């Protein structure tokens, strides 16, 4: 989006500069030509490809496209995020849970079931997916996919009270072999 906006801005500035030069043909164009060409055609040439790419990328995050490789739960609570792994157990036999760190395998599609225990929060990992609201008593779904291992910052993007700015979390994407080891390590650190 930034690249498209920058290209459009630069083109408009160049055309504007050329239009004010009296010796050019652009300076002699009528108002109607400027309105149609610069006000309709030029934005359409930039906005249509941006909209199409936005729809294609956005479709990836929707939960109705096939089965995900993995499901995790994300629960927002003032002032942090709690993540549950339905298919993983902690050493004490309880279901594995982590706080403010979400472990996922890189290169796999992960469906996150997002809810809240208190007020409306918003789950957002800018480099991996769009935003989705965490609403008390309701479960929303979003898909994440980290193409390579790494650390991705997440935030609550809905003002939720006094310490809202401190409500960040980290998504740790591990290569598939290291993912199970990371879950085991997280399980041994989890409090009973």
Q: How far apart are CA 170 and CA 98, in angstroms?
A: 11
More confident residue, 109 or 192: 109
Segment 44-66 mean pLDDT? 74
pLDDT, tens digit, 9 for 90 and up, residues 129-149: 888 999 999 999 999 999 999
Q: How much is the mean pLDDT over the chain?
A: 83
- Out of 2.40.160.20, 2.40.30.20, 2.60.40.420, 2.70.180.20, the CATH code matching 70-189 is 2.60.40.420
Strands ordered across the beta sheet of 95-99: 95-99, 80-89, 70-77, 110-116, 140-144
For residue 104, what pLDDT is reported?
Answer: 95
Residue 192 is predicted with a pLDDT of: 43
pLDDT surpasses 70 at 91: no
Contact 49, 60 (CB under 8 A): no
Lowest mean pLDDT among 3-7, 50-54, 89-93: 89-93
Order of strands across the sheet that contains 168-174: 101-105, 168-174, 150-156, 121-124, 131-134
Per-residue pLDDT at 19: 67
Look up residue 131 and give its two tokens.
């935003």
What are residue 153's DSSP bridge partners?
Answer: 170
Q: Does residue 153 contact residue 173 with C-beta atoms inside 8 Å?
A: no
Model pLDDT, residue 81: 95
Tell me if 181 sits within 8 A of 103, measured CB to CB.
no
Phi, psi for residue 44 in degrees, rounded to 5: -65, -40
Q: Look at residue 22 in the predicted model and tell me its pLDDT.
A: 66
| pLDDT for residue 64 is more than 60 | no
Q: How confident is the model at residue 86 (pLDDT cuts 50, 70, 90)?
A: confident
Percent of the chain predicted with pLDDT > 90? 38
Judged against a pLDDT cut of 50, whether residue 62 lies above it is answered with yes
The domain ranges of the chain are 2-60, 70-189
Q: What is the dihedral of CA 115, 121, 122, 123, to 10 degrees?
A: -50
Q: Is the pTM of this model over 0.85?
A: no
């Amino acid at each position: 989006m930034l690249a498209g906006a920058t290209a459009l801005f630069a083109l408009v500035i160049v055309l504007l500069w050329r239009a004010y030069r009296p010796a050019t043909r652009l300076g002699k164009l009528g108002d109607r030509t400027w309105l149609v060409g610069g006000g309709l055609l030029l934005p359409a040439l930039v906005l249509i490809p941006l909209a199409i790419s936005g729809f294609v990328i956005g479709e990836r995050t929707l939960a109705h496209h096939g089965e995900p490789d993995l499901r995790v739960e994300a629960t927002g609570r003032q002032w942090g995020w709690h993540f549950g792994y339905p298919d993983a157990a902690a050493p004490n036999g309880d279901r594995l849970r982590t706080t403010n760190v979400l472990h996922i395998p890189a290169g796999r599609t992960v469906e996150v079931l997002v809810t809240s225990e208190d007020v409306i929060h918003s789950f957002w990992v800018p480099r991996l997916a769009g935003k989705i609201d965490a609403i008390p008593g309701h479960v929303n779904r979003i898909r994440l996919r980290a193409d390579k291992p790494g650390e991705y910052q997440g935030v609550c993007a809905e003002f939720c009270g006094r310490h809202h700015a401190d409500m960040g979390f980290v998504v740790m994407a591990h290569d598939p072999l290291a993912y199970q080891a990371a879950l085991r390590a997280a399980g041994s650190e989890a409090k009973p």
